[in-house]
Chains A and B, each alone.
Chain A
């Protein structure tokens, strides 16, 4: 009996390939857990009875002001002013993820638009936009941020703007390169010969073909943005205390040598940061493999089943 042959959609195929990648699956699971933790931060606070900014000066600190190690009451211990580290990590996840996602999406939108326009029109438009990208890439980021904060004072929106401003260029370059080759393809010529306008060609013909790089690079930008936010907060230029952020928590641990006594102040936020960025990077890799099986490298050669056949 001939095996049943089933038509599978492209999305379906991608998901199947993605789920077959064990590393990708683990990362995805971690990210899902993290997202749940971030969304449920209020719930965690309610469960433990500790808000993110409540200072437990009796139970969370020794009489001489030292934080207490992980225990039943404080799962991950307390920080230097007696706040529950676990609850702060959960709220910190909220800020890290929010900034990571929002910044990457915004940066992707800008990068795609500019890359598309530059690649499609070419000529002086490309030259000008190309130089703009070069300019942005050549600005020393931290120095620029330091001066901005000195003028405007640290805030979430400022951090976000800076991250977006400095991270869209990678996406812009990639997209521009892709568009340069896509616009010479037959379907674009066909569209043009049928009288389609620039706008229509860009958005209905070219853009859908850019799906894979956009998804992959946006995912890869998330960890970069998270690290960027953590760096800013670590330098005291990002999230304003007492709001928790992972970078800020690490900075507080580094302050006054407190980490030499309280290892948990470095371990947990550091681990959170490490695992999150690692997960997003692995997920990005897995997405690339799943979206673009042709470009799978040595692993692809081993694939036994032809794509699309179960």
Chain B
């Protein structure tokens, strides 16, 4: 007989210990080509049409706005509005209804006939393009009621034929009453009501001024792209669809006129079609420098930290994940319209498991309201407390029974079949099933999930889905409660793209209005807290987690400072050490 020896060979992970080369007190170096790797290509060159959040990094390099954020490692500084095209950040006058901006001298357009100063009319023209009938900016909703006369202007524009000529003449002949341009370097905004986040709104890429030449092209059309006019430190050198965008220095840009961008590198290549694994490997081998739309996989981060890699940093952008509940379909005889059932869902979900799934506390914190960490308005409260946030199936069952469903409910939950989607969906399914919900998972290709399934309201009405795990990042960082509340939790009769089941609560809307108009930020915060509590009392969603973005970059990248509005390191402030 042979002796059996059970050899358990657990080759511990070979940890390549990298000797960290000292990179202290290095001087900034100019030159080189920054290679940015992404899966999808840069989706928009024009700031008007809806774009993904990742495009923020691209707009940072090629466009400038009145107000912007500094790239910084300090979380407070990351979200502090700074003057960009404006000379200073103005304070509101006239009880918060008037904002007067002076434009910075030397900030130029890279116009076809040579550098040209950006003037007040360009700023107004930028706003005028927002509600063009060809392809409107979703963010126009923030400004329409806010700026005096903007709603009328847009109503008129809606009547115009979506052709270049008709739109050009409307834009040139019609004024927005509330945007005044008394001189070339002065812009005055008049508001219908005080809005304490107006300065933040002006950081949005959609507020980029527009030179007169762009009126000759349809927004973001191939002609627009061919005749791109930059006002940032970089401009487009070449573009191969689905493959690569190459940025080169904008000759019209003057460093003295730009306090926020240093533009160390000579050119930037944004390469599309790279899978996350390959991108991470290229970053580690030095073939790539930064990531575009790729999230660093949690596993990789943990392996990198085990190896003592110091190029990992984090950024709280106010991103969150939640489950949306469909309250408009007739599935289960409209059971989800019953607040008790929605509260049961809130009790059922094991949020701790979701946190664990995305990589632990470094990556996420359980969230119990609509405002995540890092947003003015976030506060610790727990309307549906469960032990250690692990879910309370007993309580959920009680509520379900109380609502008249002692045998539970069958619900359809499509999920985005990419990245962490499948794992997250199965984790949610496990905790919901324990509480008596029978969850049917429907894998949905990533390219269909948001554009075809979720944002198509017919699918909600027809009961194609009952629950969807979804995520949200506000359009700007910091004082962005409005950018979470308005698009998702208000309904004024016109279906909003991101309010998946037309949720509306008049009481919450009223308090939100107060929170927006008060000049006292501490009071605003308290009011937003109330809004959060009101919404969660009648929950349209199951909040899951506040997310932290983990950033990583290649070895030769120095001065990697997070730019909060781009959700990544700032291309215009990094330099390459070789």
Q: Which residues of A are found within 8 Å of B10, using beta-carbon distances?
A: 69-70
Q: Which chain A residue has the least Cβ–Cβ distance from B13?
A: A261
Selected from A80, A81, A242, the residue in CB contact (under 8 A) with B441 is A242
A57 and B356 in contact, given A256-B420, A260-B277 (Cβ under 8 angstroms): yes
Q: Is B362 an interface residue (CB 8 A)?
A: yes
* Contacting pair A65 B441 (CB below 8 A): no
Candidates B8, B299, B418, B443; contact of A257 at CB < 8 Å: B299
* B30 at interface, CB cutoff 8 A: no
List chain B residues, Cβ under 8 A from A66. Answer: 299, 302
Specify which chain A residues have a CB less than 8 angstroms from the CB of B358 in the assembled complex: 65
Contact at B417–A65, with CB atoms within 8 Å?
A: no
Q: Is the CB of B297 within 8 A of A257?
A: yes
Contact between B443 and A240 (Cβ–Cβ < 8 Å)? yes
A53 to B298, CA, bound (A): 23
CA distance A65 to B354 in the complex (A): 9
A49 at the interface (CB under 8 A from B): no
Query: Which among B8, B297, B425, B442 is the interface contact of A258 at CB below 8 angstroms?
Result: B297
Asked whether any CB of chain A lies closer than 8 Å to the CB of B445, the reply is yes
0/1 string, B428-449, CB within 8 A of A gives 1: 0110000000000111010010
Contact A65 B297 (CB under 8 A): no
Q: Are B356 and A241 in contact (CB under 8 A)?
A: no
**Residues in chain A within 8 A of chain B (CB atoms):** 53, 55, 57, 61, 63-66, 69-70, 80-81, 150, 153-154, 236-237, 240-242, 252, 255-258, 260-262
**Quick check: B299 and A260 within 8 Å, CB to CB?**
yes
- For the complex, give the distance between the alpha carbons of A70 and B443 in Å: 29
Interface residues of B in 98-149 (CB under 8 A from A): none
Evaluate contact between B443 and A61: CB separation under 8 angstroms: no
State how many residues of chain B have any CB contact under 8 Å with chain A.
35
Q: Are A65 and B422 in contact (CB under 8 A)?
A: no
Rounded to whole angstroms, the CA-CA distance of A154 and B277 in the bound complex is 26
Return B382 CB to nearest CB of chain A, in Å. 21
Interface of A is mostly: loop
Cβ B356 vs Cβ A64 within 8 A:
yes
Query: Could you tell me the distance between the alpha carbons of A63 and B364 in the complex, rounded to whole angstroms?
Result: 13
On chain B, the residues within 8 Å of A81 by CB distance are 357, 423, 426-427
Is B359 interfacial (CB 8 A cutoff)? yes
Determine how close the nearest CB of chain A comes to the CB of B526; give it in whole angstroms: 35
Say whether B71 faces chain A, with CB atoms less than 8 Å apart: no
**How far in angstroms is the closest Cβ of chain B from A64?**
4
Give every chain B residue within 8 A of A55 (Cβ-Cβ): 353, 426-427, 430
The answer to the question of B290 belonging to the interface, with a C-beta cut-off of 8 Å to chain A, is no
Kindly report which residue of chain B lies nearest to residue A72, judged by CB atoms: B8
In the complex, which residue of chain A has the Cβ closest to the Cβ of B420?
A256
CB distance from A254 to the nearest CB of B (A): 8
Say whether B276 faces chain A, with CB atoms less than 8 Å apart: yes
Known contacts A63-B356, A70-B10, A257-B297; 11 further A-B pairs (Cβ under 8 A): A57-B356, A61-B356, A64-B356, A64-B360, A66-B299, A80-B357, A153-B442, A236-B417, A242-B426, A242-B441, A260-B299
A242 near B423: Cβ-Cβ < 8 Å: no
CB contact under 8 A between A260 and B443, given known A57-B356, A65-B356, A65-B358: no
Q: Complex formed: what's the CA distance from A111 to B10 in Å?
A: 49
Contacts of B448 in A (CB 8 A): 150
